Structure 1
């Protein structure tokens, strides 16, 4: 995030966090707000109301806030000054009277800190409450007339298209689309945002970023952990809904969107929506040809998914998904986009490989040239690399081998890089929705995913055989065969 003189100024905002006692608030939101406080974006004219069912006090919330930032580079005085801006209100989201109490506290803090009516409502809780909260915020006049009012919501946004539409309708009755900020934290990651610069700030890539020159694109989101304490949620979601519908398809949209006319949120949104609208939606027989699902078994002392707490002994929930996606727009029609994501894989990380086509005429007839590959390593180590072919230093008749040019974020640069939630919260304060998810993006993503889910649910005649991959592997062998059938292979293979 480049900070300009115009950006580096104190912002005025009252944050009301629903679910303030939860894990997300303590691990992500409070540290992110503290970083913005340290950098001067938040200083004197802000306050935070934390609300949840627990009977906490102001003092208890402030203690939790202090503990959540205790390991960060700071000093005790700064921490205490920051925490003093936090207030707590015990709250039942279904009780109208509680919103009246919340309104009175918000009005008092607005006056005390001279906030000017700017309010950010952060819903860090179950989506089942989104509509209820939005309704009460409007009906009980917590939405102000003399400042901005922005609603921030977390995934999952529905569990299919029908439920997502119902949820969106509930919210849209009370908040306009421009004031709704749907968070996908992958869009706040430094290297995900760097895709814009790589594509549109470099003529060499901008000219080649199409189906004339790109052979295929590969996206891997690997996790080494199992479902852990999320088993209850995961059993009803699975990898397709949990990772593909949001994180992976968002990356697909960034990689295949047409060039926007400007780097403004409305122009970016327009092109992302267009890319997701162009996703080829599969018929049931096409799903079987283009998608693979998996479930991890027991390996080396690690339990199988079906042995995890809160998981059915005969569960058919997938913990791994691999697929071949096509975006049928002018620039990418015919280019396979291979994706895979799973639990208990060999490595944790997110990596994108853009594989370019072979030379149409290889003059080095005795040499099999490796394809040029642009690799964007999103995490854990931010890095961009480009694999090229170069002559070896040799007395032989012009041998050629591949070399890799790398730009890697060093430890000093990584230390200065804002964490995803810090970037996204600042964008909310500024009213910049570039790195958030528009409703139409959600809609087209669910349309694509629902077709796959429907085919799997109706595959009684051809059921998946689980478990079908070992913990510590890169998924079932069928995920490799998906590429082999096209004459391709996974560029990212840490077990090779």
Structure 2
């Protein structure tokens, strides 16, 4: 990675600076980078919002949010005041050209104070419907005319289907070159997701096994305990397929399945990820029901407290068929992965918050130990992304004692044992954008291919054809049909914690695994 000291003076322009994302993620990321000495020596954050506010009032707003949401709390008033001195608030109406003229004057004034033309990073923390207006005005005012210095970060959702994503790419290309556009997926900034590359391509012991000859199946789970909360209106237009599968889970899948890059250059890595998306076998409309399961959480009691179902959430229509759970099976048609099922699932109001990758290896060809009631639990490599951050290798070993009995065991690498202050995903991604490193950001072809993978599924569900919507109790692991999806090939959703492994040990002794 480039040295942060080489970053030229930079102006970060935040559209939507009074919104939830800026409050919870962006300004804590800026602050933590500042404390770690990762911000440019000269920088300004230009915070844009509709309401009229003074710099002092907005800085107080930032201070309150840092206390609530930053991993580094405000321990030193002096350090915070130094950081806050870099923040200016600017009243801005996205729809009015005059606001962009005022912005241009402000940017020019900051350049003058720096003694040189600064880099410009435009962060669009706004609804997708405003992107066209903002980018058109940026072009009209000539605010991002230098491809080497000016960049724009676009938050998800990037479109709502393939055609809209292509239109959005075309729109952005009228103002920005591809190398200026940073399409953000915060999952790619997570420490454990980034470590997949190091784990796979930095070790000789696993990469030879990372193929169809040794791997039986792959599972990717992103589960949330919470429901839609106060985002019912947004979720009605999104659903789990658009909100999670098309972006987060697709990006994790590419990290697991990609071929080895020849270098760590951004385009080389992104080329390999695009290859994976192109290799995913497309599901025909008639196959949607066979390969996918969609569900919607129903009311239940969790820990003795009643919990609303999705249909009772604020902003949700009475007869909504929006899915809050998706499980599906993919195949990759290439040499490395032919015939290996990739199972993915995501849902709200699940039993626990959990993001994990489970690599299940093929069973031994002949089990010397399959006598009596003993069996063999599958060997698994588990990468926990959140809230646990670890890598676990599960294997069989001999029980201590005189008899030749087996038991499952684990070797664990725990990130928290190495560092209790791991950087947040947005810190990593903001720093990369400041450095001009697009490796962890999505390229236009990746976005369009990811949408193409789910297009027929999306259309079938919207037309209510070739699929059913199953109810599941809040606080569970989704509808029973998700288990049946795997059971057809003799698989089941794997455990990813040591407690669950100990429960499986009893099942091994009872002869469940063989």
TM superposition score category, shorter chain reference:
over 0.9
Q: Which runs of 5+ in 2 are unaligned?
A: 504-514
Q: Distance in 2 between matches of 1:110 and 1:144?
A: 15
Query: Counterpart of 1:148?
Result: 149
Q: Distance in 2 between matches of 1:478 and 1:271?
A: 33
Equivalent of 1:59, from 45, 56, 61? 56
Q: What are the within-5 Å matches in structure 2 for residues 66-465 of structure 1?
A: 66-70=63-67, 72-73=72-73, 74-114=75-115, 116-145=117-146, 148-300=149-301, 301-366=306-371, 367-396=374-403, 398-410=404-416, 413-415=419-421, 417-460=422-465, 464-465=468-469
Aligned-residue CA RMSD in angstroms?
A: 1.8
Q: Distance in 1 between matches of 2:267 and 2:467?
A: 43
Deviations 1:411-444 (A, max 9, x none): 66132x1110001000001111111111111101
Q: Which runs of 5+ in 1 are unaligned?
A: none
Q: Distance in 2 between matches of 1:236 and 1:377?
A: 30
Change in 2 beyond 3 A, CA 1:463/1:430: closer
Q: Is the 8 A contact 1:290 1:324 kept in 2?
A: yes
Q: Distance in 1 between matches of 2:63 and 2:486?
A: 50
Shift of 1:60: 2.0
Query: Counterpart of 1:26?
Result: 23
Shift of 1:30: 0.7
Shift of 1:465: 4.5
TM-score by length of 1: 0.95
Q: Distance in 2 between matches of 1:406 and 1:250?
A: 25
Query: Counterpart of 2:476?
Result: 473
Q: Is the 8 A contact 1:292 1:323 kept in 2?
A: yes
Shift of 1:10: 6.0
Q: Is the 8 A contact 1:14 1:47 kept in 2?
A: yes
Q: Distance in 2 between matches of 1:452 and 1:334?
A: 21
Change in 2 beyond 3 A, CA 1:43/1:442: closer
Q: Distance in 1 between matches of 2:108 and 2:148?
A: 12
Shift of 1:7: 4.1
Q: Is the 8 A contact 1:8 1:40 kept in 2?
A: no
Deviations 1:281-339 (A, max 9, x none): 10112111010000011101111111111111111000000011112122111110111
Shift of 1:139: 1.8
Change in 2 beyond 3 A, CA 1:114/1:426: farther
Shift of 1:364: 2.5
Q: Is the 8 A contact 2:16 2:126 kept in 1?
A: yes
